[in-house]
Structure 1
Amino acid sequence: MNRGKKWKAAYEKINPGELLSVEEAASKIGELSTTKFDGSVDASLKIGYKSLQNVRGIVRLPHGTGKNIRVCVIAKADKHAAAKEAGAEFVGAEDIIEKIQTEKWTDFDACIATPDMMPKIGKLGQILGRKGLMPKPKAGTVTDDVATAIKNVKAGQVEYKADKTGVVAVPVGRVSFGQEKLAENIRHLYQSIIRDKPSDAKGEYVKTLHISPTMGPALKINARNLI
């Protein structure tokens, strides 16, 4: 991969392969950011498990992700006031379903729906599913308590799953978070993934853990010290 001058300059500041404590890695991340804006910090975990489709879950980061989450709520009229009061940017019912279906509209980051609307939302599977926006009961985004679901999503609730290569990629904050908040988010993410691992998982479940800023090189964390 062809890397730019800024990335190469940042790479020279690290010792490739060096195992760092989570605090050391979190403190160095600002030096490796190559963007002028407050970039995202992402964690990448390599999972050692045969049935990767079962590696998935929900984690609520203690300090959130730093991203403004735009929420779309699909529910009947009696839920609209509560959804708007809780901070949902888009609230509707059949009108939103039609907009998504006809315009392929997905200008939001999370979609929450009440159970009675799911039969109608099912036809949106190809549009919402492709972007990871389909409401799911296990993710807490299919519920009658839309206000709580909205607050959880906006507070930093993140859904994760392993890709075909066994990598779980999760945003854990912004460069501006600083060492303490980033370290706490990373530690909480790791502990949650270990806690929720499949019951038949044997041996080393998380093989490696790296964090990296947007368009910057990655740092390797000694995950064994995170439990």
Structure 2
Amino acid sequence: MEGLELKVARARRVLLEVAHTWKPQDVAVAWTGGKDSTVALSLWQRVLDEAHPGMRAKALSLDTGCKFPEVVAFRDRMAQEWSIDLTVVRPDVGPDYPVAVDRVACCRDLKVEPLLRALKEREIAVLLTGVRADENPERASRPQAETFDEPPHVRVHPVLEFSEMDIWAYTMAQGLPYCTLYAQGYRSLGCVPCTSLVVGGDERAGRDATKEASMDALHALGYF
């Protein structure tokens, strides 16, 4: 099994290429407040410190209105402590929106459309994500960089090669903070209606099965 140090080194090389190819203000991290995107955010800030001293990482956070309050509290606290240039993106739906009735439509309306709108409005050229190949069969086939046409941008997945254990090993080695829900047994955090606390199974066993099975369709719409 390949060591974590090599994976971190490759992730750094990818991020250094981003830092030297695009203006840092045109790059944002898709930060959910979860463990994977927090590692991606930390790696990016370290690269910025090296390539563009004094520049703070920019992050977009999709707030569907259905997130765990612990995740929101963690995100807001860490944005302040790390001086993250955070933009919270919210969907344009009414209070009677049928949350989680149609899982694909819900993700489209509460996540994808607000994300694409924010990318366009803020003129983001590169979106860094916390996507990992071992999370889902669809994600296993992803390249480390993907080009999207509408709006035009590149998505880079710096921790694509990391396993769940790699994420935690890096988190502990670097002393990174993480949401308290992980200590309660959650392994993957999504919206409240589509996330359950389960014992055993794979990492995303607590995620809604319909959504997980529809990852190809969601990715085609613009989902991570």
TM-score calculated relative to the size of structure 1: 0.23
TM-score calculated relative to the size of structure 2: 0.23
Q: Which has the higher contact order (CA 8 A, sep 6+)?
A: 1
Q: Which of the pair is proportionally richer in strand?
A: 1
Look at both structures and tell me which one has the larger radius of gyration over its CA atoms. Answer: 1
Q: Which of the pair is proportionally richer in helix?
A: 2
